[in-house]
Structure 1
Amino acid sequence: MSLPSPLIAGWHDHLALDRRRSVHTVRAYMATAQRLLNWMADTGGVADQAALAALTPSDLRAYVASRRAEGIGNASTARELSAVRAFLRFQGGEDGSIPTLRGPRVKPGIPRPISPDDAIALAEDVADEAREPWIAARDWAILLLLYGAGLRIGEALSLTGAILPPADVLRVTGKRGKTRLVPLLPQVAQAIADYARLCPYGTAKDEPLFRGARGGPLDAGIVRKSVRGARVRLGLSDRTTPHALRHSFATHLLGRGADLRSLQELLGHASLSSTQIYTQVDAAHLLDVYRNAHPRA
C-alpha cells in the first residue's frame, strides 16, 4: 500500500522546519510514522487521519507487540512510543485524547569515556591507516575536534571552509540550529590547518570542509567505520565510538574541575539534566580506580 503522502510530508516539514530537529531525529521519527501507518493498513485496512484519531491503548499495545516481535529492546520501544505520541499530537490529537501506554522502564545508561592516551592512540591509528596523506590529516583533524572540542560527529562534518583559518574560538551549529562558541586548542587548530593545506579539493567558504575520497561531503559512516577498525587493532571496548570521544571530552573536563553550567554551554545541551549525567561518569571512574587499586576492594 502507498502511504498517505500528506500525512508523511507534513510530519517531515513540521519536524525539520518548525521544530528544527536534527537530520537523525527526523529520519527516525519519519520511519516510526511510516511503520505505524503500514501496521494500521495491514491490520485494519485504513490509515488516514480519522483512523489515527480513533486509535486506542489496545491498538498501541498491539503495535508495540509487533515491534517487540521484530526484536527491539526497551530503549527502542520507549523511543518508538514517544515518536508515535508526537505524531498523533501533530495530526490534531489533544493530549487528553491521545491513547496512553506506559513504556518499558529504561535504566539511563552512563556514557563510557576512554582515557586520554587511548583517545590519542585511536586518532593516530585511524590516521596511520589512511590511504593518502590528506585523508590521514582529515581523519586526525576530525577526531581531535571530537575529543579536543567536544563536537558531535554531525557538527564536525557540517563545518565549512568559512572557519578557515581556524581561530581561537569556533562557532558551532548544533541541534535545532542552536549555535555555540567552543574554544579551540592550538593542537586542534593546527590539525585543521594542516588538513586544509593538503586537501586536494579546495576549501571554499560555502562548501563542506571535510571531503570524502572523491571530493563530496564526507559521510559519518566512513568515520565510524575507521574508528571500528582502530578499536579492534588497539583492543579497545566496543563502546569506543566517535561519540565516546565527546563523552571523554566532557568527563575529563569535569574531572579537572569544570563546572556543570560551563560544560553545558560547551556541549550545547539544551538542559542541564543532560549534562549532569557526567557527574555519574566521574563517580563511576573514581570507583573503578578504587576497586583496581585498593587491596581489599
Structure 2
Amino acid sequence: MQSYKDQFMEYLQIEKNASPLTLKHYGRDLDEFHAFLKSEGVTLHECEYSVIRVYLSRQHEANYSRRTISRKISSLRSFFRFLEREEIIQQNPFLNVTLPKRDNPIPNFFYEEELEKLFTVSDLSTPLGQRNQALIELLYGTGIRVSECTKIEVSDLDFSLNTVLVHGKGSKDRYVPYGQFAAKALQAYIEDGRRELASKRSDESKNIFLNAKGGPLTADGIRLILKKMVEKASLTVDIHPHKLRHSFATHLLNEGADLRSVQELLGHERLSSTQIYTHVSKDRLKNVYMNSHPRANKR
C-alpha cells in the first residue's frame, strides 16, 4: 500500500495543490487505515464495504468526534477514488458510505476587552516586540489563517490602500483590507525590527514575519508567540491563531457587517462556512429587539 500512498500524496500535492496540513492529515489517515487492514489480514484489493463497516465501528468505539470520522472517510474516499481512476482497483468501497452528521460548535472567540490586553503586552522597543505587535494586529485586523500569514511577503503589502494580498487555499488569492492600528504596527516593524532581524542572515527572506534568527516564522512559531502573549497578559483563556480569525468574523457581524462581505474577507468558498459566526450574545439580541420592534418599548 505504501507505493500507492506515495502516488496519491504526489497527486494531492501536484495536481490538487493541497496544503501541508491537508497532506499531513491524509497521510496519517492512510497510515492508520493501513494498520487496520493489516490487523484484519485484509489486502487493499480485498477491501469491501463489509470491511469498511468494521473499520467505522472501530472509529466509533474509539470515541472519535463526528468531525474527525468525517475527515477520515473523506480522506479514504479520495484515496480509493484515485485508485479507481488509475485502474488499480475496480470499485471504490467508500462510494456508498455516508458522512456522519457533523456537530456545529460555536467557535471560540475573544471578547474585545480580552483583546485589548493582548495589544499592550509587547515591548515595542525590541525587534521581537515590534514583530509580535504587527503579527497580532494583522491576524486580528484581517482574519487571515495562520498558514496564509506565514506566506505573506513584504511586497504583498500596499500601504497606500492598506490592503494585503493573501495567498489562500487552493492557490486562490484575495485582497484583504486592514485598519490603521495594523498599518502603524506593520510600518514600525518593517522599518525597524524586521530590518534588524533580517540582518542576522546573509540570504534575506522575503517573508514579512521573521524569527529570532532572521528566518521565516512558521505556523508553530506563531502559535508559541500567541501563547506567550496570553500568559504575559495574565489571561486565563486558551489561545490558538484561529481564535483571532473567529474573533475577527464575530466582531464584524456583531457590528452589522453583512454575511457575504465577511465570507469574502475570510476566503470561504461556501456561505455555510461563514454562517457559523452568526451567533450573537443574548444582550445584543435583546438590544436589537428593544430598539427595533414597534411594540418593545413605549415611544
Query: TM-score w.r.t. structure 2 length?
Result: 0.81
The answer (yes or no) to whether the contact 1:150–1:267 under 8 Å persists in 2 is: yes
In structure 2, what is the equivalent of residue 293 of structure 1?
Answer: none
The answer (yes or no) to whether the contact 2:158–2:164 under 8 Å persists in 1 is: no
Instruction: Classify 1:261/1:165 alpha carbon distance in 2 versus 1 (closer, same or farther; 3 Å).
Output: closer
In structure 1, what is the equivalent of residue 79 of structure 2?
Answer: 87
In structure 2, what is the equivalent of residue 273 of structure 1?
Answer: 272
In structure 1, what is the equivalent of residue 27 of structure 2?
Answer: 30
Distance 2:185 2:131 in 1: 8
1:239-282 CA deviation, whole Å, 9 max, x = no partner?
Answer: x4221111111111112221111111111101111112222x22
Runs (5+) with no aligned partner, structure 2: 289-299
Would you say how many aligned residue pairs link Structure 1 and Structure 2? 277
In structure 1, what is the equivalent of residue 178 of structure 2?
Answer: 184
Q: CA deviation at 1:228?
A: 2.8
Distance 1:60 1:288 in 2: 49
Distance 2:211 2:197 in 1: 10
Task: Name the SS for the 1:181 alignment partner.
Answer: strand
Give the alignment partner of residue 58 of structure 1, picking from 45, 50, 56.
50
Structure having the higher Rg = 2
Amino acid in the other structure paired with 1:194: A
Runs (5+) with no aligned partner, structure 1: 291-297
Give the alignment partner of residue 135 of structure 2, picking from 134, 142, 161.
142
Query: TM-score w.r.t. structure 1 length?
Result: 0.81
Instruction: Classify 1:166/1:10 alpha carbon distance in 2 versus 1 (closer, same or farther; 3 Å).
Output: farther
1:216-251 CA deviation, whole Å, 9 max, x = no partner?
Answer: 22122222223334435533332x422111111111
The answer (yes or no) to whether the contact 2:197–2:212 under 8 Å persists in 1 is: no
In structure 2, what is the equivalent of residue 202 of structure 1?
Answer: 198
Amino acid in the other structure paired with 1:98: F
1:30-179 alignment, distance < 5 Å: 30-44=27-41, 46-47=43-44, 51=45, 54-68=46-60, 72-92=64-84, 98-125=94-121, 127-128=122-123, 133-163=126-156, 166-167=159-160, 168-179=162-173
The answer (yes or no) to whether the contact 2:157–2:164 under 8 Å persists in 1 is: no
Distance 1:178 1:139 in 2: 27
The answer (yes or no) to whether the contact 1:143–1:242 under 8 Å persists in 2 is: no
1:116-175 CA deviation, whole Å, 9 max, x = no partner?
Answer: 2212312433x25x9x81111111111111111111111111111223563422111111
Task: Name the SS for the 1:124 alignment partner.
Answer: coil
Instruction: Classify 1:284/1:146 alpha carbon distance in 2 versus 1 (closer, same or farther; 3 Å).
Output: farther
Task: Name the SS for the 1:234 alignment partner.
Answer: coil
Q: CA deviation at 1:284?
A: 6.0
The answer (yes or no) to whether the contact 1:146–1:243 under 8 Å persists in 2 is: no
The answer (yes or no) to whether the contact 2:17–2:170 under 8 Å persists in 1 is: yes
Instruction: Classify 1:161/1:235 alpha carbon distance in 2 versus 1 (closer, same or farther; 3 Å).
Output: closer
